[in-house]
Structure 1
Amino acid sequence: MTRAAAPPILLQLHSSESVSSQINALRTLKNEVIGHDQRKESYVTGGLIPILTEVLISKRPGKAGYNGSVVGQSPQDCDACLQAILITGSLAQGGPTFLAPIFSSNILPTLLSILSSPDCPASFGLPILRLLNTIADRLPLQSQEQWPRDMRLADLVFTTENISCLRRIVAQDYSSPRNQASIELAAGLIGKLCTEEVHKTALAESGVLDALAVKIASFVVAQGFVLPDAESHLHEPGALGDLPSPAPASAQLAPILRAITVIIEQSKWRAEHFLSSPGIVTVFPKQVPGFAPSDVKKGPWGATYLSGSAVPRPMGANPVDYLLPSIPLAHAKSSTSAANFPPLGHGGSHRRHSHSFPTPFSFADMSTPDEDENSIVPWLLCILRAESGMSRLMAARLVTVLFRLGLAKKHRVSMFSYLLIPILIRMLDKDFRLPNEDNVTSDGLISPTQRMKEESPAVLANLVMDDQELQKHAVEGGALKRLSQLLKETYNPVPESSRPMWQAEGGCPVSDPETLTPECRLGPPGYSPTLCHVMRYREGILKALAALVPFKDEYRKAVCENGVVPYIIDSLKPRPSDAPADTSMPKNTAADGNPTPTLLAACGAARMLTRSVSVLRTSLIDAGVAQPLFVLISHPDLEVQIAATAAICNLALDFSPMKEAIISADIIPILCEHAHSSNTKLRIESLWALKHVVYNTANDIRMKVVEALGPDWIRQIISQDPLRALAKRGMEEEMDHGAGLAMGRSNSAGEQVDILNPMEDASEREEDLKMTDTMPPSKMSLEMFLPDARRRRKLVLHGSLEQSTQSRQDDIAVQEQTFDLLRNIICGPGASEMIDHFFQEIGKDDILDALADNLRPRSIQLPHRRESSSRSLHVPVEILTSVTALIIHLAAGLPRHRELLVSHRDLLRSLTNYFTHSHREVRVNCVWVIINLIYEEDQSDREGCRERAAQLRHLGVADRLASLEDDSDLDIKERTKTAVHLLNSLAPA
């Protein structure tokens, strides 16, 4: 098949001898392609996109001349560029089919370079931003090999140069309709594209987050929510110097709120960076105790002084809180003592109970003291009560994120129950519709009401996650019933409406795709906007169902009674890679499958339902939950593998009727392979599942697991030093405080920043104050949206701490799960045989040395300090618990196994350090080790028990046990009595 001839209009455009004829051809072409997908196809395959790229490159502003000088842009060049931009935007309206050739060309980098150029004409900004938003709206849903996760646009937009351009656009005043539209389009682009941590960090460090905060401040000023004493703090360090201009009534708040939310999500430090930004500090200054007016006296010389009885007045409630309705006191009181706020002072965003592995170093576990809550929290609650549409939903989303990050008061739980949850549930109603929606112009996508319905379940899911009180109110409000009905409705047939438009003239001959260059080759059609909406809606509903049922078996049973389990199982089926491209028939059946984000949400819902024994034995078996999960465990996408493995963990429990199905389906080799993955999350979930599989299983299955994992790999994992990262971090922290010592690191902008010394030096501090004091109060420069040196260093330092903390958590979790797996391998029927096999395969000396090393106390020397000093490092509780549990089962083996433990030079000596550990499980495990070592199972071992008891007494175990006889834990007291009795009867003092 030969390549088709180019349409005449393209030949005319390519051979134009003058700019005016080129402009006329471009205008004709623009009018022909708008709304005509079939013409778009013929023009793209005929070479339209390379021609448009050439026009933009040759006519762009600021292009270099022949002698290297910068050539200005004539009005005709400007018009040609504008027509090329509009045509590209029209092509992008066609969806994923036309995005593939656009991405394959150089047209997007060229457009972004034009937008970022200081010579960019004002008339270009809006069309380019609209084009970028059009592409972002139509990116195909991720679905196996055909539509991989597309980050190309985000990677282009969030480069250093283009982020500076975004900051410049967002930092504009709302002085004209053009500026207003540009600000909202730039914020909207951030909200649609910013999903990666590296992009979020770059936007925070480069000042975009601070510029967005000033826009929030403009709305606060316009609505009259500025705190009463804010004017007296305008010239303090960190403030703007003046209140920002009020936002016009026509300005949209939703895009600003969405952009801020996506940047600060999942990072407490970015959220705190936002709350400390100049815009927020200006309108919501931190309240400090003041003095009564009668206590402030004025002397004859004009100065003021305090009377002798002056006492600072305590801070009252936040002034914005007085605008919110009161919450019933009885309910508010009970909320503070709810299970999600333990008595030790932790609250807000604590460790998620639905995590598959513990997070001992979670940085979000710390709740913000009530007096430190920023006034933006009650302001957002006022907004979601007063506004409607997307502004209301985005205010709910942002306040939920702040709450989950621990930056809201504890009593907000009660307020969310009465104010926020009913609003979100109302959005789930079938008859919910935004007012004046008919006046909104259609962009070929879904309606505003559909978009709100699509996003509201995910906000509800994030709000109620791991909070039983909020879950209770949502369920009592009918959330489960509504979500169940909505999930069923997402499987109603969706007719596609993307048939090619009829043309009177004959179409161009069909080209052979293999002969076309990438920028002339059309991509796969992807889902229609309506079907994309259905898939995203289904994803959000599944997330909400999973978030509502993790703790209450009655909630899980209610989900089953609503008849949605078969639909959840259907949601576990991926889209076939060879799906037909015919879009003329109705889609959305179970056979059509689901994109990757929906698969992830369905795995989460299935995992929560498998927590229930009764549901697992009835509804889930009848619906066939195991088979789709067995398929997803080998899915090409890594995140799907992780989610499916996490769900299989519950299927592998000893009481599960599907445990034999896992073994017979040959899933164990896949789990062992995943345990070697470079992805730590996949390793943890796979080890967790294997830990359940081997429990109470035949010895030949356990031996196969040891063989598949590999003795060398097991030896390497259990021999790792869990304190290595802690020691390194301790050295860095000491260096942080050491005089004259610092460490530089490049941030995302490529600048060297001192991450170990977040405080500025005296000269920088003076410069910051000088810049603040001398700034004209009525004029704000673009540079002020760059975070100052102190805030920037703090942000980079905390970002580094987040990464190192997560890495430390993951390393500890892998080792913990490995020890737990080995414990389950050597317990139960045939335990003695497995201990022998275990020692033979891995080496008894290697195993016992590894156990002793993990119990050995550590300290690090600080050689750079003038005085000789050291710092003690504590072994993580998770490792101590797992190691001592493994020793318990080794001590429950044959007499020769016990002799190996007692005869080791360091093992029991190190264990004696933990009899008084603060964690009860560590203490009780230590006592169980002693009981198992000296428990006499038959007469043949009586002499061995006496010898071991004598050795234990020699190690000082009797004194350690004496310290536990009055332990506050009853179980430890009873176990200690048994251990003391055995020790005294075998080896009297």
Structure 2
Amino acid sequence: MARAQTPPILAGIQSARTYAEQTTALRSVKNEVVGHIQKQHRWVAHGILEPIVEILLSARSPSKLNGKNTRGHAVAPRPLLEEEQVRLQAIQLLASFANGGAAFLTPLHGAGALRALLENLCPVDNHPRVVLATLKALRSFADAASFVLPTNQVQSTLLADEIFAEQHLESLSSILASPGPPTSIASTSLVNAAAGLIAALCREERHQILIANAGILDALATRLASFVVARGEVVPGAHVVAENEGIAEAMPAPAPAGLSLAVTLDAICAVVADSRLRACMLLYSPSILAVFPNLDFTPPAKDTRAAWDALEAVGLGSSRPPQLGAIDFLLPAVPGQPKGGPPQISPFPPLGSTRDYSSSRLGTSRSGTNLSSWDSSRLAPTSAGGETGGSEDPEVPLIPWLMRLAADRRGAESLSGADVLTSLYKAGFAGRYREAALGSLAVPLLTHLLNDSDRPAGCPPAAVSAWVDDATATRWERTERVLTVLARLIADSEVLQKSAFQCGAVETVCKLLKEAYEPIKSHDGGFKLWSPSPAKEADILEALPSAQHGQLPLNRHRVRLRECALKALASLVSFKNEYRKQVCDQDAVPYIVESLAEFPAKPGGSTGQRSAAAKALLKGSDSSGEPPAGSGFGRNTAGVLIAACHTIKLLARSVSIVRTTLQDAGVTEPLVELLKHHDIEVQIAATGAICNLVVDFSPMRERYTELGIMRILCRHAHSMNADLRLNALWALKHYVHGLRLEMKRACLDELQSGWLVQLICDDTEDDALFSKSRQEQHPGTSTSWTGDDMDEDVEMDHVDEDEDEEEGGSGKHWTGTSTPSSSLLRGPGAASPRVSHERSRTGRLRRAEVKLAALRDAELNPQRKARSDDLAIQEQGLNFIRNLITTSNSGSNGAGGAGSDYPQDTAEMIDYLFSALGQDRLFEILASKLRHKVLHPFNRRLSPSSLTLEQGQQTQHQQAPSRVLYPQAKVIEAVICILVHIAASVPRHRQLVIAQTDLLRLLGRQFASRDKEVRVSLCHLISNLTWRDDGADTQASERRAEELRRLGLMGRLESLQQDDADLDVRERAKGAVWQMKQGGAAGAIGH
């Protein structure tokens, strides 16, 4: 293929000798290609990108710095220099190509455009107009990357990795944290553009941590506080409190008119996400503390409290905050849950004055709700205790402020405020008393936005095109976001789920899911554009890297709509069978099941039809993994597959749905295919969904067995991924319950008894983390030492669990000019300014530091994650053994069901377990779970000398503080339940348990456990140990009861019978005590 002749303009660019010539040539190209996709393709074919990038990198004064000092700020506005004019034209030209869509990202990236753009981001070294053009160009790159195919190397993550590098984060922080309010349009646009770029690209946890570390979250919090000041909603008396606490300098100036509150909130939400630590950083940012102090408020009019007092009088005041602050009086009084029966009154008592909430700013309200007009003498500092009356800080008034912002239902600010509010609520910083208000204000807002997102009447469906109009794109994006926010908000709250259900959310979400599966008409070359001479240019354009087009906007929206709708459905059905039944009644299950297929077909078809269609689509798909033209349903991403698995898992909590709807919908084969998916996150989700579908009452278990589910799950249980191991063990635990003995033996053999022992005994994740840490700190040391001597079971005093929190919080206070949360995140070695106790009289700042340090350790400390993973896996491994030796005496259920010879089958399975694991070894494993354990020390660097073993003794390990693991309630319960089932077998097995004196002594300590299930399980164990099968077992039963008395268990059991606070425990203990006194006259109990 011959290359097209070089255009004169390109030759002029390459031969230009002066800045003016370069500027003129670049402007000519820009004017030609802006908004003209065909010409953009043509210019890329001619090789225009490399010269543009070269000019952008070279048009710079040698005296300019390259981002080494970005904490300063640009001087007063000045005219552009000649080299800056050249760079501005080059940046705008690159942005024009990026606006052409995903097709241009590969050639732009190959030419080095991203690196060249980032060289112009520093606000110190570059003119504001150049920086603004750079931010806009980067945003064009980000928007285009959202449409790329999965096989494209230029993904959004790649852009985020480049843009959120350390030196560029300093530039973004400098833009957002410029001193004083931005007064020019250019400065305001810079802040909006920087915040918008963060909101568009910040999705990964590692990027969120980097951004928070760079101080950007604090800068965004300051911008948010400036809006509070501009709206006249600063808590009265805040200036006095700020002065007393030494943070008066953190009180921001009012936000200028051009600054966007919605964009600022979007950026905050992107950074905070689901992190408790970053949510705490936002709430305890100095500017937020300055404008929102915790102060009790006495309203000027007595009738202001009338609504709350009326609700209290009729038992509906549970939603009332413990202290009513000034912001709380701007919200309507919402009735909470009734304490008794349903009251025979109106839900909203018609008491008190009605306020006008129509004003966008309190300062213009005529109802007397302007906070600045209230007398600060009516305020008093709140007590340190929160709703519990303990040492917890009271709720930060930012929470009710965001609730009011969301309730206004005005434009994008309302949805953005609800999004940030959801993050703070999920992080636990909103009191439980806020649920009623959220259910009455936020949830109806979201469902209202969903209903408004429907296609307007008379509006034709979106065309299959490479472009959509702004109104349609905005409506699509809003629908996706509302579904996501609703899913996050109601996920763990029955109150909010009830509110969403009553607002018709189930019907609306199911309708949107069905719309997401409307077939898209087949199209051939939807991106092909008209050309006056197609034959002449075809050979050039088709050979370009830009010929690899991205997703069509409609296809992308449909796929994202499926994912978001599935997440919302999963959150709606997590608690109530009534809601699950409603989803089934809406005929949404076929669409959920079809979402389990990577290449979906028409929902509602038979299993055979779907399988044949999937094979045809997979065969016809190209190397990019995209379905062939004419498939009509696109390709489900990993996010859709994971969301569908989660929805199936929650629907399967209903026995009737498992036995009917899911069975009829053909959910079996799609899930088995996902268990083999190349994406491990999809495997984890599919394994979690299987858990509720292989139980003994499921009619699908036989089919799963035929498809080899046992082998697949056992293979997953050997995975290096802790989450996959956990879900696989969980599913195996359910699968083996009620199986025939030969299948149980086969399952244990497939899993391998040695591996099961390792999962239960070893701290796999903790050991791996320790080994990795040791290798990083001492690359030359041997890795053969495992620290077994340190991991021996020992008895020692309880270690102060708050040691790290106190250490992290002591002596780290800040003044109004420092950034506390950023210094905390930078690590224990980071220095921060101190403030005297006299300047921090309330102690609020000190408590904030301690809380941030504790959250930092809980969230960023890999040791905690490793320990949590190990404990969860050990618990499920023990529960697997429990169900392995449990034989159902209720008859068979399918081909895999157990028979009815309960005691004999149980005894046979226990004997097989003893032979596979070793009888003494099993009891020793159970005993080890009841003892304290010393783990590897991580808190300080380990020197090679501290890892040396001499004559079997560890030397000098005292250099690092030991970590002690105490017996965990869930693990203890699992251990006891195994013993309960062994004792429910034949008399010789009860004798084996009685012979474990050390084990029984360890169990005796657990009678004082705070966990109810542990105490109930102990009562079951005593009952089973003293049970007698027949007259021949009478003497043995009496000896067992006598041994239990000798160990002191009788007295502890009587203490439970008399003093336990739980009725169930007292009744179980009463039966066990009676049986011990009668010599074993009750029934053996399986638990």
Scaled by the length of structure 2, the TM-score of the pair is 0.74
Which position in structure 2 is the counterpart of 1:775? none
- SS of the residue corresponding to residue 210 of structure 2 reads helix
* 1:230 maps to amino acid: A
- SS of the residue corresponding to residue 554 of structure 1 reads helix
Which position in structure 1 is the counterpart of 2:422? 400
Tell whether 2:329 aligns with 1:322: yes
Unmatched segments (≥5 aa) in structure 2: 69-77, 301-320, 344-385, 460-466, 600-616, 767-790, 813-818, 888-897, 899-904, 940-954, 1082-1087
Cα pair distance change 1:968/1:372, threshold 3 Å: closer
Deviation, 1:456, is 0.9
Which position in structure 1 is the counterpart of 2:573? 549
Which position in structure 2 is the counterpart of 1:275? 283
Q: Does the 8 A contact of 1:171 with 1:211 survive in 2?
A: yes
Counting only pairs closer than 5 Å after superposition, residues 484-883 of structure 1 correspond to structure 2 as: 484-494=510-520, 498-505=526-533, 507-508=536-537, 510=539, 521-522=545-546, 524-575=548-599, 579-580=621-622, 589-590=632-633, 592-720=634-762, 730=799, 733-734=802-803, 764-765=834-835, 795=852, 798-804=855-861, 805-828=864-887, 829=898, 830-857=905-932, 874-883=966-975
Tell whether 2:86 aligns with 1:86: no
Of residues 896-905 and 873-882 in structure 1, the stretch that sits farther from structure 2 once superposed is 896-905
Deviation, 1:127, is 1.4
Which position in structure 2 is the counterpart of 1:979? 1072
Distance 2:972 2:685 in 1: 28
Deviation, 1:225, is 0.9
Distance 2:322 2:1046 in 1: 61
Unmatched segments (≥5 aa) in structure 1: 293-313, 337-363, 771-787
Deviation, 1:757, is 9.6
* 1:119 maps to amino acid: D
- SS of the residue corresponding to residue 254 of structure 2 reads coil
* 1:697 maps to amino acid: L
Q: Does the 8 A contact of 1:891 with 1:933 survive in 2?
A: yes
Distance 1:730 1:32 in 2: 72
Cα pair distance change 1:926/1:759, threshold 3 Å: farther
Which position in structure 2 is the counterpart of 1:226? 234
Deviation, 1:330, is 7.0
Among 196, 199, 219, the residue aligned to 1:191: 199
Cα pair distance change 1:411/1:935, threshold 3 Å: closer
Deviation, 1:952, is 2.8
Q: Does the 8 A contact of 1:455 with 1:537 survive in 2?
A: no
* 1:253 maps to amino acid: L
Distance 2:339 2:14 in 1: 72
- Please list the CA deviations of residues 99-136 of structure 1 after superposition, one character each: whole Å capped at 9, or x if unmatched: 23334443212322321262112221121111111222
* 2:835 maps to amino acid: R
Aligned length: 902
* 1:54 maps to amino acid: E
Which position in structure 2 is the counterpart of 1:123? 129
- SS of the residue corresponding to residue 380 of structure 1 reads helix
* 2:484 maps to amino acid: A
- SS of the residue corresponding to residue 764 of structure 1 reads coil
Which position in structure 2 is the counterpart of 1:286? 294
Task: Provide the aligned C-alpha RMSD in A.
Answer: 4.6
Distance 2:742 2:820 in 1: 52
Which position in structure 2 is the counterpart of 1:481? 507
Cα pair distance change 1:700/1:97, threshold 3 Å: farther
Cα pair distance change 1:78/1:741, threshold 3 Å: closer
Which position in structure 1 is the counterpart of 2:142? 136
Distance 1:895 1:395 in 2: 65
* 2:747 maps to amino acid: V
- Please list the CA deviations of residues 193-252 of structure 1 after superposition, one character each: whole Å capped at 9, or x if unmatched: 222223222322322111111211221122111122123234344534375332233432
Distance 1:33 1:768 in 2: 64
* 1:611 maps to amino acid: R
Deviation, 1:816, is 0.6
Distance 2:322 2:929 in 1: 49
Distance 1:283 1:740 in 2: 24
Distance 2:715 2:497 in 1: 38
Q: Does the 8 A contact of 1:169 with 1:186 survive in 2?
A: yes
Cα pair distance change 1:841/1:555, threshold 3 Å: same
Counting only pairs closer than 5 Å after superposition, residues 54-69 of structure 1 correspond to structure 2 as: 54-60=54-60
Deviation, 1:452, is 1.7
Q: Does the 8 A contact of 2:169 with 2:214 survive in 1?
A: yes
Q: Does the 8 A contact of 2:641 with 2:682 survive in 1?
A: yes
- Please list the CA deviations of residues 123-157 of structure 1 after superposition, one character each: whole Å capped at 9, or x if unmatched: 21121111111222232469766689741111122
Cα pair distance change 1:767/1:446, threshold 3 Å: farther
Q: Does the 8 A contact of 2:135 with 2:193 survive in 1?
A: yes
Q: Does the 8 A contact of 2:1004 with 2:1049 survive in 1?
A: yes
Distance 2:124 2:261 in 1: 28
Distance 2:331 2:910 in 1: 64
* 1:817 maps to amino acid: Q
Cα pair distance change 1:151/1:853, threshold 3 Å: same
% of aligned pairs identical?
34
Among 173, 179, 196, the residue aligned to 2:187: 179
Deviation, 1:289, is 8.5
Deviation, 1:268, is 2.2
- SS of the residue corresponding to residue 660 of structure 1 reads helix
Which position in structure 2 is the counterpart of 1:349? none
Q: Does the 8 A contact of 2:53 with 2:112 survive in 1?
A: yes
Which position in structure 2 is the counterpart of 1:785? none
Of residues 48-57 and 940-949 in structure 1, the stretch that sits farther from structure 2 once superposed is 940-949
Of residues 406-415 and 43-52 in structure 1, the stretch that sits farther from structure 2 once superposed is 43-52
Q: Does the 8 A contact of 1:97 with 1:523 survive in 2?
A: yes
Cα pair distance change 1:933/1:86, threshold 3 Å: same
Deviation, 1:178, is 1.3
Distance 1:382 1:646 in 2: 38
Which position in structure 2 is the counterpart of 1:781? none
Among 901, 919, 924, the residue aligned to 2:993: 901
Bigger RCO of structures 1 and 2 (CA < 8 A, at least 6 apart): 1
Deviation, 1:367, is 11
Distance 1:740 1:885 in 2: 41
Among 254, 257, 273, the residue aligned to 2:262: 254
* 1:317 maps to amino acid: L
- SS of the residue corresponding to residue 255 of structure 1 reads helix
Distance 1:931 1:165 in 2: 69
Cα pair distance change 1:728/1:56, threshold 3 Å: farther
Cα pair distance change 1:892/1:105, threshold 3 Å: farther
Scaled by the length of structure 1, the TM-score of the pair is 0.81
Deviation, 1:824, is 0.8
Which position in structure 1 is the counterpart of 2:1049? 957
Q: Does the 8 A contact of 2:987 with 2:1029 survive in 1?
A: no
Q: Does the 8 A contact of 1:60 with 1:73 survive in 2?
A: no
Tell whether 2:127 aligns with 1:110: no
Distance 2:729 2:762 in 1: 16
Among 474, 486, 493, the residue aligned to 1:467: 493
Deviation, 1:705, is 2.5
Cα pair distance change 1:175/1:512, threshold 3 Å: closer
Deviation, 1:482, is 1.5
Which position in structure 1 is the counterpart of 2:370? none
- SS of the residue corresponding to residue 978 of structure 2 reads helix
Cα pair distance change 1:366/1:175, threshold 3 Å: farther
Q: Does the 8 A contact of 1:610 with 1:650 survive in 2?
A: yes
Q: Does the 8 A contact of 1:139 with 1:150 survive in 2?
A: yes
Distance 2:934 2:218 in 1: 42
Tell whether 2:106 aligns with 1:100: yes
- Please list the CA deviations of residues 360-381 of structure 1 after superposition, one character each: whole Å capped at 9, or x if unmatched: xxxx999999981222222222
Q: Does the 8 A contact of 1:144 with 1:636 survive in 2?
A: no
* 1:933 maps to amino acid: L
* 2:475 maps to amino acid: T
Q: Does the 8 A contact of 1:755 with 1:794 survive in 2?
A: no
Of residues 672-681 and 650-659 in structure 1, the stretch that sits farther from structure 2 once superposed is 672-681
